Amino acid sequence: MDESVEVKQKRPQEYLSKEFMDELVCLMKKEGTVAAHGRGKVVGFETKKVRYHALVQGFKELKALGFKLQSPTGLQERHVKALAQSWEAAGLSSSTISNRLSVFRVFSDWIGKPGMVKRSMDYVVNPNSARRSQVAKSDKSWSTNGVDADALISHVAQFDPYVGIQLRLAKAFGMRLSEVVMFKPLLHADLEHGVITIRDGTKGGRERTGVIRTDEQKAVIDECLSRVSRPHQTLSHPDHNLPQAKRRFKYVCERFGITKKDLGVTGHGLRAQNLNDLYEDVTGLPSPVRNVGNITLAISQLEHDIARAVVSQAAGHSRLSITSAYIGSERAIKKGRPAIEDRVRALANKRTRTKDEANELSALIDEICSMNAAEKARASRKEVVATDVARGLVVSRP
Lowest mean pLDDT among 43-47, 146-150, 392-396: 392-396
Q: What is the pLDDT of residue 282?
A: 84
- Using a 10 angstrom Cβ sphere, with 0-12 exposed, 13-18 middle and 19 or more buried, the burial of residue 322 is middle
- Are 304 and 247 within one domain? no
With respect to residue 78, please indicate whether it lies within any of the assigned structural domains: yes
Of residues 35 and 296, which shows the higher confidence score?
35
- Are 75 and 64 within one domain? yes
Q: What is the pLDDT of residue 46?
A: 76
Q: What is the pLDDT of residue 395?
A: 42
Q: What is the mean pLDDT of residues 248-260?
A: 95
Kindly tell me if the per-residue pLDDT of 77 is higher than 70. yes
Q: Which of 269, 288, 311 finishes a domain?
A: 269
Q: How far apart are CA 275 and CA 125, in angstroms?
A: 37
Q: What is the mean pLDDT of residues 330-347?
A: 60
Q: What is the mean pLDDT of residues 179-194?
A: 94
- Are 265 and 277 within one domain? no
With respect to residue 135, please indicate whether it lies within any of the assigned structural domains: no
- Are 61 and 80 within one domain? yes
In contact, 331 and 320? CB cutoff 8 Å = no
With respect to residue 137, please indicate whether it lies within any of the assigned structural domains: no
Helix axes 215-226, 161-173, angle to 10 degrees: 150
Kindly tell me if the per-residue pLDDT of 219 is higher than 90. yes
How much of the chain exceeds pLDDT 70, in percent? 77
Q: What is the pLDDT of residue 1?
A: 43
Kindly tell me if the per-residue pLDDT of 132 is higher than 60. no
Within 13 A of 182's CA, how many CA atoms are on the CB side?
A: 17
Q: Strands 189-190 and 208-211, how do they pair?
A: unpaired
- Are 237 and 318 within one domain? no
Q: What is the pLDDT of residue 34?
A: 72
In contact, 172 and 277? CB cutoff 8 Å = no
- Are 284 and 378 within one domain? yes
pLDDT digit string (tens) for 286-331?
888 887 655 455 667 777 778 888 888 888 877 777 777 887 776 5
- Are 223 and 302 within one domain? no
Kindly tell me if the per-residue pLDDT of 346 is higher than 80. no
With respect to residue 278, please indicate whether it lies within any of the assigned structural domains: yes
Q: What is the pLDDT of residue 246?
A: 94
- Are 277 and 359 within one domain? yes
Average pLDDT, the chain: 81
Q: What is the pLDDT of residue 175?
A: 93
Q: What is the mean pLDDT of residues 251-268?
A: 93
With respect to residue 2, please indicate whether it lies within any of the assigned structural domains: no
In contact, 5 and 40? CB cutoff 8 Å = no
Q: What is the mean pLDDT of residues 195-207?
A: 86
With respect to residue 11, please indicate whether it lies within any of the assigned structural domains: no
With respect to residue 3, please indicate whether it lies within any of the assigned structural domains: no
Q: What is the pLDDT of residue 37?
A: 60
Buried b / exposed e across 339-358, counting CB within 10 Å, b at 16+?
A: ebeeebeebeeeeeeeeeee
Tally of domains within the chain: 3
- Are 254 and 275 within one domain? no
- Are 263 and 283 within one domain? no
Closest CA to 312 of 301, 299, 325: 325
- Domain of residue 352: give its range: 271-395
With respect to residue 138, please indicate whether it lies within any of the assigned structural domains: no
Within 13 A of 95's CA, how many CA atoms are on the CB side?
A: 4
Q: Which of 223, 253, 269 finishes a domain?
A: 269
Of residues 153 and 323, which shows the higher confidence score?
153
Q: Which of 74, 101, 130 finishes a domain?
A: 130
Q: What is the pLDDT of residue 377?
A: 59
Q: What is the mean pLDDT of residues 369-377?
A: 58
- Are 230 and 160 within one domain? yes
- Are 390 and 284 within one domain? yes
Q: What is the pLDDT of residue 397?
A: 35
Q: How confident is the model at residue 247 (pLDDT cuts 50, 70, 90)?
A: very high
Three-state secondary structure along 256-299? CCCCCCCCCCCCCHHHHHHHHHHHHHHHCCCCHHHCCCCCCCCC
Residues β-bridged to residue 42 = 34
Q: How far apart are CA 52 and CA 46, in angstroms?
A: 10
Of residues 173 and 49, which shows the higher confidence score?
173
How much of the chain exceeds pLDDT 90, in percent? 42
